[in-house]
Chains A and B, each alone.
Chain A
Amino acid sequence: MSKNTVSDRFRKVDVDEYDENKFVDEEDGGENQLGPDEAEVDSLIRSGNLMGALQAVLKNPPINTKNQNVKEQTEGLVLKVLSSFKTSDLEKAVQSLDKTGVDLLMKYIYRGFERPSDNSSAILLQWHEKALSAGGVGSIVRVLTARKTV
């Protein structure tokens, strides 16, 4: 065999990067998006105002930013808020959200599914059921088709 077949580094080359027709998403300038205000959300949770905490944590979603840390921080914060709800209050909380709020909640729920921790999946599944009855299958389709993830 000739020398060329010895190395298989060529198999790890990402050919799509060299495609001149490759589709690149539009940049939307998300440098200033810092996610929801952590201090505000924490104080609302401690004071027992869970509805307010939910509204606050769904503000300023880090959709356009490329900073992964911000996204992970936000997801952690959202999970904290979602876990502090009592099961009986879930339905009311979801009803208080508008359409974009329900879509955004679905995005966070699916992001939470990606990295399951101790009890998170069970809580997320309960939220998922309520959000599904409010947003319908369409809200899940929008999570799947969104180019800019939360």
Chain B
Amino acid sequence: MSYHSFLLEPISCHAWNKDRTQIALCPNNHEVHIYKKDGNNWSKIHVLKEHNGQVTGIDWAPESNRIVTCGTDRNAYVWTLKGDVWKPTLVILRINRAARCVKWSPKENKFAVGSGSRLISVCYFEQDNDWWVCKHIKKPIRSTILCLDWHPNNILLAAGSCDFKCRIFSAYIKEVEEKPAPTAWGSKMPFGEVMFESTGTSGWVHGVCFSDSGNRVAWASHDSTVAVAEGGKTAVCASLTSETLPLLCVTFITENSLVAAGHDCYPVLFVYDSNKAAMSFGGKLDVPKQSAQKGMTARERFQNLDKKATTDSKEAVLESVHKNSISQISILNGGKAQCAKFCTTGMDGGMAIWDVKVLSIVKHVRVQMQ
């Protein structure tokens, strides 16, 4: 497990390249910085300046090596590497509020942008006009889209929104792909069709994730709950109310386990049992600092009683690795089926890389493989 502090400001969003040697992140301003790993250090090799507003989403397509960014200036840019320079191409999203999140589809022929205009823009490249064109998914979204995730079949898109619902839409674009085969979520998938809408949890949906097979979707909501729905089983939702502050991001690391992190500044493991359709708490995944337990003198006790009206010796310092909320989780190795390493970035400007095997030994936490 390693932690690197990039900045003093929050990291708004980040994305890794295919071989995980470069990371693109937004240092809470209008730019995107690309850092390259050399040895134990990170050196800044590119600065992408084109946005006029804060960059809210970055995604790096591993095969085609293109970066898509979206920002509060209501624009998205697709960046391609020409020689040693990243060249931007503007994509007109036709939105009148800020863009909030962006994701390449698995085949990288389209990407989806969630925005504050209460709609999702699905963009694809039109060969004839040499231009990115977008289509809108509007109904029945009633508020900002906060997070997106694509199904492995390149057609279905899960979206979490501020209208307290997680939905799965069809983003089938007939110009770029064939008709999809039926999935666990349904068989008729015209563009914009709602295949699933969540019930049972309230609170803004901060993070959403499909499992590796695409049959399960998990979402983390602002009422401190995590829920999993399984397609085909009359869309059964299993939710778990947690005793912690709300979680902001969630990802599957095997078909049955999820890692989520949020305002409590440490990642947490959850396990989903398909037979019982229930979720359970798997454990905190943080590696605690070895704090020396020194006894308190009577004088210190009286001082504490005087100053803080308590004799507790707990210090007001966070013991977790991240010192502020974690806002994004990304898988580094192993994919969503057998994740070996994942990375978290947060509002403390730092990035931590977590090793699943090491964590499960250290914490006696059982990560259930399928």
> B143 in the interface, Cβ–Cβ < 8 Å?
yes
Whether B244 pairs with A138 at a CB distance below 8 angstroms is yes
Beta-carbon contacts under 8 Å, A35-65 to B: none
Looking at the complex, which one of A21, A23, A136, A141 makes contact with B223 (CB distance below 8 Å)?
Answer: A141
Q: Restricting to A95-134, which residues have a CB under 8 Å from any CB of B?
A: 99, 103
Task: Kindly state the separation between the CA atoms of A127 and B243 in the bound complex, as whole angstroms.
Answer: 17
A145 within 8 A of partner (CB): yes
Q: Does A74 contact B (CB under 8 A)?
A: no
Contacts A23-B142, A138-B241: A145 and B203 contacting too (C-beta < 8 A)? yes
Say yes or no: is B202 at the interface (Cβ < 8 Å to chain A).
yes
Does A135 lie within 8 Å of B203, measured CB to CB? Answer: no
| Pair B223/A142 contact, Cβ less than 8 Å | yes
Alpha-carbon gap, A22 to B245, bound state (A) = 29
Decide if B243 touches A139 in the complex (CB within 8 Å): yes
Q: Which residues of A contact B163 (CB under 8 A)?
A: 23
| Contact, CB under 8 Å: B244 / A147 | no
Known: A23-B143, A23-B163, A145-B202. A137 touches B243 (CB 8 A): yes
CB-based contact B202/A136 at 8 Å: no
Chain A contacts for B246, CB-based, 8 A = 141
Query: Are the C-beta atoms of A103 and B142 separated by less than 8 Å?
Result: no
Which residues of B are found within 8 Å of A147, using beta-carbon distances? 164, 202
Whether, in the assembled complex, B242 has its beta carbon less than 8 Å from a beta carbon of chain A, the answer is yes
Q: How far is the CA of A146 from the CA of B225 in the complex (A)?
A: 12
Q: Which of B235-256 contact A (CB under 8 A)?
A: 241-246
Q: What's the dominant secondary structure at chain A's contact region?
A: helix
- Asked if residues B224 and A141 are in contact (CB atoms below 8 Å), the reply is yes
CB distance from A137 to the nearest CB of B (A): 6
Give every chain B residue within 8 A of A137 (Cβ-Cβ): 224, 243-245
CB pair A103 B222 closer than 8 Å: no
> Do A135 and B243 form a contact, CB below 8 Å, given A141-B222, A147-B202?
yes
> B109-123 interface mask toward A, CB cutoff 8 Å, 1 = contact, 0 = none?
000000000100000
* Of B118, B202, B224, most A-chain CB atoms within 10 Å: B224
Q: Which of A21, A23, A145, A146 has the most CB of B within 10 A?
A: A145
CB-contacts of B200-230 with A (<8 A): 202-203, 222-225
Q: How far is the CB of A102 from chain B (nearest CB, A)?
A: 9
Closest B residue to A138 by beta carbon equals B224
Complex contacts, B242 vs chain A, CB 8 Å: 136, 138
Of A99, A139, A141, A147, chain B has the most CB atoms within 10 Å of the CB of: A141
Q: How far is the CA of A148 from the CA of B223 in the complex (A)?
A: 13
Nearest-CB distance from A34 to chain B (Å)? 23
Determine the chain B residues whose CB is within 8 A of the CB of A99 once the complex forms: 241
Which residues of chain B have a CB within 8 Å of any CB of chain A?
A: 118, 142-143, 163-164, 202-203, 222-225, 241-246
Q: Which residues of A contact B (CB under 8 A)?
A: 21, 23, 99, 103, 135-139, 141-142, 145-148
Q: Lowest 10 A-B CB distances belong to which pairs?
A: A136-B243, A138-B224, A145-B223, A145-B203, A138-B243, A141-B224, A142-B223, A138-B242, A145-B222, A23-B142
15 new A-B contacts, CB < 8 A, other than A21-B118, A136-B242, are A99-B241, A135-B243, A137-B244, A137-B245, A138-B241, A138-B242, A138-B244, A138-B245, A139-B241, A141-B224, A142-B203, A142-B225, A145-B222, A145-B223, A148-B202
Q: 28 A-B pairs, CB-CB below 8 angstroms?
A: A23-B142, A23-B143, A23-B163, A99-B241, A103-B241, A135-B243, A136-B242, A136-B243, A137-B224, A137-B245, A138-B224, A138-B241, A138-B242, A138-B244, A138-B245, A139-B243, A141-B222, A141-B223, A141-B224, A141-B245, A142-B203, A142-B223, A142-B224, A142-B241, A145-B203, A145-B222, A145-B223, A147-B202
